[in-house]
């Protein structure tokens, strides 16, 4: 169950320091708004909303911004109807990519995502064209400072987690989608708010990429991640330390 995780290499995320704060907060606000509209606007009675708020806090989103998003959902201050969309395709080097979006215009978003793929050596596919290479999981991340690998492992297992990976800087806990909320809440009570907590796509197979493919792939991931409608991007690439060193030199 425990062991080294390559999930950070595979599951593409730009750190908060690499993004504009406004874009990060806008993304969280949209998720909070949709979560609040999808159920009760009370976090303790709405697991999705509770998770959206936890994710926003992990990115240091101000409490006022969070409350404002919830009030919009309650008071009808935002009558925009967002749809949850999923796009799939292949990037450079045959890397499988899943893009999740919240959009008020599916035609616009689909066109923008398709353009990003085509301009950066990728190809859009049909729904479920690459999803079979991933498993849907809950992912919870804590700094290594919250406790030892054994402590976190024990707490995660007791809470119902299915996998734990502890490294020098952080602990990654994986759950089934059904158990995600319960595990997150149990660990929050034990260790405080996590650095990240969300439902994600975890690759079951990985695709190694060379330097040329990796360079173009990273550009594609950046373009997708910068799209205002995109909430998250998952891919099954694996870049060696040697190739990564050359790209960042």
Q: Which comes out higher in pLDDT, residue 188 or 15?
A: 188
Is 16-75 CATH 1.10.510.10? no
pLDDT, averaged across the chain: 87
Local confidence band at 130 (pLDDT 50, 70, 90 cut-offs): very high
If we measure between CA atoms, which residue out of 121, 100, 98 comes closest to residue 236?
Answer: 98
State pTM to two decimals: 0.83
Domain boundaries, the chain: 16-75
Percent of the chain at pLDDT > 90 equals 55
- pLDDT tens, residue by residue, 216-242: 999 999 999 889 899 989 999 988 888
**Torsions phi, psi for 236 (to 5 deg):** -105, 30
- pLDDT tier at 13, thresholds 50, 70, 90: very low
Cβ-based burial of 109 (10 A; exposed 0-12, middle 13-18, buried ≥19): buried
Counting beta carbons within 10 angstroms of the beta carbon of residue 22, is it exposed (0 to 12), middle (13 to 18) or buried (19 or more)? exposed
pLDDT at 1: 39
Is residue 5 scored above 60 in pLDDT?
A: no
Across 66-75, 124-133, 194-203, the highest mean pLDDT is recorded for 124-133
- 46, 60, 98, 99 from 161: Cα distances, Å: 20, 26, 24, 25
pLDDT, tens digit, 9 for 90 and up, residues 16-29: 445 577 888 888 99
Q: Which of 87, 129, 127 is nearest to 106 (CA)?
A: 87
Quick one: average pLDDT of 204-221?
A: 92
Strand partners, 129: none
pLDDT tens digit string along 138-193?
999 999 999 999 999 999 999 999 999 998 899 999 999 999 989 998 999 999 98
- Burial (CB < 10 A; 0-12, 13-18, 19+), residue 230, is buried
Is residue 105 over pLDDT 80? yes
201 closest CA partner among 139, 156, 142: 139
């Amino acid at each position: 169950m425990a062991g080294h995780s390559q999930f950070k290499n595979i599951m593409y995320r730009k750190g908060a320091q690499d993004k504009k704060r406004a874009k990060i907060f806008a993304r969280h606000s949209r998720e909070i708004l949709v979560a609040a509209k999808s159920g009760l606007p009370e976090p303790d009675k709405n697991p999705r909303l509770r998770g959206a708020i936890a994710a926003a806090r992990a990115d240091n989103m101000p409490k006022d911004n969070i409350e404002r998003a919830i009030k919009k959902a309650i008071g009808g201050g935002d009558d925009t109807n967002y749809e949850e969309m999923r796009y799939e395709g292949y990037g450079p080097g045959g890397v499988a990519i899943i893009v999740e979006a919240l959009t008020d215009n599916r035609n616009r978003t689909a066109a923008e995502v398709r353009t990003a793929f085509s301009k950066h050596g990728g190809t859009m596919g049909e729904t479920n064209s690459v999803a079979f290479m991933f498993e849907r999981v809950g992912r919870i991340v804590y700094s290594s400072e919250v406790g030892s690998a054994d402590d976190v492992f024990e707490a995660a297992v007791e809470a119902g987690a299915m996998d734990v990976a502890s490294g020098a800087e952080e602990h990654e806990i994986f759950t089934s989608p059904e158990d995600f909320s319960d595990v997150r809440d149990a660990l929050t009570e034990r260790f405080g708010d996590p650095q990240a907590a969300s439902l994600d796509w975890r690759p079951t197979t990985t695709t190694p990429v060379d330097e040329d493919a990796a360079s173009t792939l990273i550009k594609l991931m950046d373009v997708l991640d910068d799209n205002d409608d995109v909430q998250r991007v998952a891919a099954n690439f694996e870049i060696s330390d040697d190739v990564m060193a050359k790209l960042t030199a």
